[in-house]
Amino acid sequence: MERNLEKTMDNVTNVEGVIGCILADRQGLCLGAKGSASGQSAGLIAAIADEVAKLEPESNAPIIALESDNRQCIIQRQGPIVGAIYKAISP
């Protein structure tokens, strides 16, 4: 499973504009982080996914997008795994 997670993170970070990604389990334990993503944010990312799921109970996997002046964070839960992708925003 670890090899699959590494391959997935490599594939994601090789996409143009992506500057990092992180994967966490349902409890917020960091399963892996690449690029500018910090493993310390795994718990927060899992908690955000949990709270948004309460707002959209009819949606199987809501997508959360957080944006600042220079980057975007996209969070989604797929089964027991929560993923976040960090993208650079062009001026």
Structural domains counted in the chain = 1
CB-based contacts of 24, cutoff 8 Å, min separation 6: 30, 31, 42, 43, 45, 46, 81, 82, 83, 84
Kindly tell me if the per-residue pLDDT of 61 is higher than 90: no
- What is the structure's pLDDT at 90? 81
Average pLDDT over residues 20-46: 95
Q: What domain range includes position 83? A: 2-88
Closest among 22, 24, 32, 46 to 2, alpha carbons compared: 32
Q: In residues, how long is the chain?
A: 91
Kindly tell me if the per-residue pLDDT of 51 is higher than 70: yes
Does the predicted TM-score (pTM) go above 0.85? yes
Query: Residue 40 CB: number of other CB atoms within 10 A?
Result: 10
Tell me the pLDDT of the chain averaged across its residues: 91
Instruction: Residue 78: give its domain's CATH number.
Output: 3.30.450.30
- What is the structure's pLDDT at 8? 87
Kindly tell me if the per-residue pLDDT of 1 is higher than 70: no
- What is the structure's pLDDT at 6? 85
